[in-house]
Amino acid sequence: MFIKKVLSLDEACEYLGYKKSYLYKLLCGKIIPYSKPNGKKIFFDRDKLEQWMLSNPSTSLSDKQIAASTYVSTDSQKYRNSKKKKPR
């Protein structure tokens, strides 16, 4: 199966699931990566679109809980170790 690497505006809209007007809004704000080689037609690199879609990930609640418990356990050990009396 052949997968196109370069997408037109209409193909990018279909690929992303966005309306054309919203994609134009992203283009005007320079939020989404695109190419305009002759100054007229707009093209998108599929790989760059995928990178853009996966940018700014959000962590799940369980990942946050694991990170918090790890931080608390290591931080409390550091605190306990700093409270131990040093020999003179």
How many domains, the chain? 1
Q: Is residue 87 domain-resident?
A: no
Contact 15, 46 (CB under 8 A): yes
pLDDT at 36: 93
pLDDT at 9: 95
Q: Is residue 88 domain-resident?
A: no
Buried/exposed 16-41: b ≥16 CB within 10 Å, e otherwise: beeeeeebeebbeeeebebeeeeeee
pLDDT at 78: 60
Q: What is the pLDDT of residues 20-62, one digit of tens each?
A: 999 999 999 999 999 999 888 999 999 999 999 998 877 788 8
Q: What is the pLDDT of residues 3-25, one digit of tens each?
A: 889 999 999 999 999 999 999 99
Between residues 73 and 46, which one has the greater pLDDT? 46
d(CA 58, CA 67): 14
Q: Is residue 14 domain-resident?
A: yes
Q: Is residue 1 domain-resident?
A: no
Residues spanned by the domain of 65: 6-82
